[in-house]
Structure 1
C-alpha cells in the first residue's frame, strides 16, 4: 500500500472524506489513515460500512457532515458525478468548493516524479495496458500496472523517479483528476458506451479527453485514427500544439504515425516508414483491433526509450489477456477462444473480424441495438449458438441470414458448437465465445462467464474423439 505521508505533510489538518468503500475506496481510506490523515469514511451500503469498521476507520455520514472541516472528497469512480444526477454528497462537496478526486490522483500526489502512462478508450484499453506493461517489464524496466485494470492504484508498489506506472483509465476515473499529468496519454478509440453516466456521446468523449489535460510539449498524446470520433479528437489535440502527438492505426497508413498494413507494423513516427515486424506471426494479437493495440504499445514504448528489438521481443512473448480473445486450447484441430469481455456488439465485431469458419456463442443481457450491426461479419460465421435472456431476440435479428440454434446455457452451447465444428469441412474451425452482451442474466460478471467456458472446454479434453464428434 502506497505511503502518502509525504503528501499528507503538505496538507492542512482538515479531513479527507472517502465516499464508496469498495476495494479501491477502502484502500484509499486505509492508506490515508496509515499516513496520518484524518479520514471520514462512508458508504451508502451497510456492507461497505461494516468493512470500514472492521478496518478501524472512522465512519461519518457524509450526507450530513460539516463540509467546512473537509479539504478533499475521494470518491469511488462508480458513483455519479454529473449524470444521470450527481450523488448528493458530490453535489454538497461542489457547493462547498471541496475538490473531488479518485485514488489515482492520490497516487500521483504521492509519487509525482515517476513516469505515468495512461490508457483510455472504449475497447482495447485493457489489452494495450497489459501489453505495454509486459513489454516494459520484459525490457527490464521498473513497472507497476493497475488503475481500472485489476489492482487499485494505491495498492501498487512505490516507484522512484526511474519507475513507470502504466494505468488503464476509465472515463469515470478521468472525471476525478485535478493535478495528474500523464507523461504519455493514449486515446485508443470511441464508440457509444456509458452514455447514462455522461449524458450523450459528446459528454463521454469530453470525459475521455481529460487524459490530455495538463500535458506539456515534453509529453506525448498517442491517438487512434480508426474511428471518426477519435480522428476528431486527434485534430483537436494536434491543433493546440501544446503536446507531441502520434497517430496510430491498425489498418491505415498514416504520415508521421505508427500503423499496420497487411499485418506489418510500420513506424513513420520514429523512423522513415520502417517495417518493424510482421504481427501475423504473433498469435496472441490477432485482428486489426489488436494491431491497433500493438501500434499504440510500440509508440508508447519507443517514447520511453526502448529499442525496436526490445519491443518486438516483448510483443512476441505477450501471453494475452484473460477473457479477451484468449486462446484456451485447440482440440483435434478446433480452436477455442474465450472473448467473454465482449459485452457489446462493437467488441464482438473485433473478434468476429479476426477469424473464419466461426462457431459463435452469443447472448446474455443485451445492450441497445442488439447484434444488428454485426451482420457484415455473418459470412465468417458457420453457425450461431444463442444463450441467455437475449437468445430469442437475437434469433429474430439473425433471421435467415445464418444458421443458429437456441441453446439457453453455455454448457449446452459449447457441446453443440464442438459437435458441429469437429465435423466442419472447412479449415481451421473456431469455437468463439464472444457474447455481445452483459453477463448479468446468468453470471455475476464476464470473468465468471469466461471461466465457465474454459471449464466446459476442459471437460471436452477428457472425452474420446468419437464422442465429441458424435
Structure 2
C-alpha cells in the first residue's frame, strides 16, 4: 500500500466503495487522514464495514468539514449529469479528485531521492496490453516495477515507493478527468477513436481528458504518441510545437522519417540519424496483428525513455507471455479453439480480433457504445455465426441482418453452447471468439468477470464432453 500524504488530520469523503474507493480509503487512513465513506449500493457498504470502516451517509453530511472528495472513476463527474456528490462538493468548495491524483500528490510530496519513475499509458484501445508489455520489459531488464492503475491492482494498493521503483500505470479517461498534478516521466497515448462519449459530452471532451496525461511533463521527459489516427496526429503536432519534452511518434502502418514504426511485423527505430531494424515481431507469439505491433512500438519507445538499452528492450518484447482477456486462447475442444477477447469493449477493439481470423463464430453484445458495430461491416463476411448477448443483442442483430447468421442467445452460457455446437458441426477447424464490442456492465461487474465467465462456460463444455466419452 502507498500511504497518501497531504491530508493528515483532515477528513476526506470517499464515494464509491468498489476496488478503487476502498483502496483509497485504506491509503488515506494509513497516511493519517480520516475518511467518511459512502456508496449507494448496500453490498458495497457491507464490504466496507467488513473491512472495519464506519459509514457516513454523505447525502446528509456536513460537507464543510471535508478537505476533499475522493470520487471513484465510474461515478459521473460532468456527463450525462454531475453526480449528487459532485454537486454537493462544488457547492461547499470541496475539491474533487481520484486515486491517481492522491498518488501523484504523494509522489510530489516525497523527497526527490525517493520519487519513483512513472510511466502512464492511455488510449482508446490497447492500454492493458501495452501496460503489461512495458511492465514485462522493465521487469526482465531488472527494474523494480509495479503495474496497476486501471489494470489489475489499483494504484494505491501497489507496494510503497522508493527512488528505484518504476510504476507502470494504465489510465482511463475517467481517471484522467480526476487527475491534475501527475508528472509522468514517460507518457503513452496509443490511439484515439470515439468512446465513452456519454461521459465526456463529445469527442473534444474525450480527447481533452486523454491529453491530461501529458500535463506537467518537461525537459527530460518522453511522450510516445500513436499517429495512425487523426486525433493522435493532431496531438503530436501540437505538442511538438511546444518543444519541451522528447516526442516519439509511433506507427504500425507506415514508415516515418522520425519515430518508431512497424512494417509487415518488423519493428524499426528511426529516432536517430538513420532507421534500423529492431526486431521481427512475427516471432512474438503473444503479439499477433497490427494492433499489437503498435503496442510493441509503444513499449519499445517507453523502455528507451526509461534508459533501457534498445537491444535489451527488443529482446524482452519477444518473450511477452500475453494478457488475460485480450485475444487469449483458453481451450481447444476437438477442432474448435476458444478465444477470450472480453477486453474488447468497443467496436474498434473487436476489429483487432475479428481481423486476425479468416472465419469466426462470434459472441458479441453487452452494453453497446455509440455507433454499435456498424463500423465492422467490412468484417461481417468473416462471421460464420453471431451469438448475441445482453442489452445490445437486438441492435446488433439488426445491424447483422442478411449479412451473417444470427442467434440472439441472451446469456453468455447459451451463446458459448450454441457457438460450439455450430462450430463443431462445420467439421472444420474453427474459432469461437468472445469479442463483445460492448461494455459488460449489463450482465457482469467488469470485462474481467465476463472473461472468467466465458472461461468457466468453456470448461463446463469440456467436462460434459469428457463425461460423455
SS of residue matched to 2:361: strand
**Residues 199-214 of structure 1: pairs in structure 2 closer than 5 A:** 199-214=201-216
**Matching residue of 2:283:** 281
Residues 399-427 of structure 1: CA deviation (Å, up to 9, x unaligned):
3333444444444444444455456587x
SS of residue matched to 1:396: helix
Contact 1:251 1:291 in 2 (8 A): no
- Mean Cα deviation higher: 448-457 or 230-239: 448-457
**Matching residue of 1:100:** 96
**Matching residue of 1:2:** 2
Return the alpha-carbon distance in structure 1 between the equivalents of residues 426 and 273 of structure 2. Answer: 46
**Which consecutive segments of 4 or more residues in structure 1 shift more than 6 A?**
none
**Matching residue of 2:170:** 168
Contact 1:142 1:159 in 2 (8 A): no
Residues 163-205 of structure 1: CA deviation (Å, up to 9, x unaligned):
1101111112112223221111111111222212211111111
Aligned with 1:297 (options 292, 296, 299): 299
Return the alpha-carbon distance in structure 2 between the equivalents of residues 405 and 17 of structure 1. Answer: 47
Structure 1 residue 326 displacement after superposition: 0.7
**Residues 170-185 of structure 1: pairs in structure 2 closer than 5 A:** 170-185=172-187
* TM-score, normalised with respect to structure 1: 0.89
Q: 1:270 to 1:118 in 2, by over 3 A?
A: farther
Contact 2:362 2:434 in 1 (8 A): yes
Residues 2-22 of structure 1: CA deviation (Å, up to 9, x unaligned):
234xx34xx675433333332
Q: 1:424 to 1:256 in 2, by over 3 A?
A: farther
Root-mean-square deviation (Å): 2.8
Q: 1:88 to 1:409 in 2, by over 3 A?
A: closer
SS of residue matched to 1:313: helix
Q: Tell whether 2:452 aligns with 1:456.
A: no
Contact 2:197 2:370 in 1 (8 A): no
* TM-score, normalised with respect to structure 2: 0.89
- What is the number of residues matched between the two proteins? 462
Structure 1 residue 260 displacement after superposition: 0.9
Contact 1:221 1:246 in 2 (8 A): yes
**Residues 9-408 of structure 1: pairs in structure 2 closer than 5 A:** 13-57=9-53, 59-63=55-59, 65-112=61-108, 113-270=115-272, 272-408=274-410
SS of residue matched to 2:37: strand
Contact 2:120 2:169 in 1 (8 A): yes
SS of residue matched to 1:202: helix
SS of residue matched to 1:111: helix
Residues 51-74 of structure 1: CA deviation (Å, up to 9, x unaligned):
444544454444455555433332
Return the alpha-carbon distance in structure 2 between the equivalents of residues 464 and 83 of structure 1. Answer: 48
Return the alpha-carbon distance in structure 2 between the equivalents of residues 309 and 421 of structure 1. Answer: 43
Structure 1 residue 383 displacement after superposition: 3.5
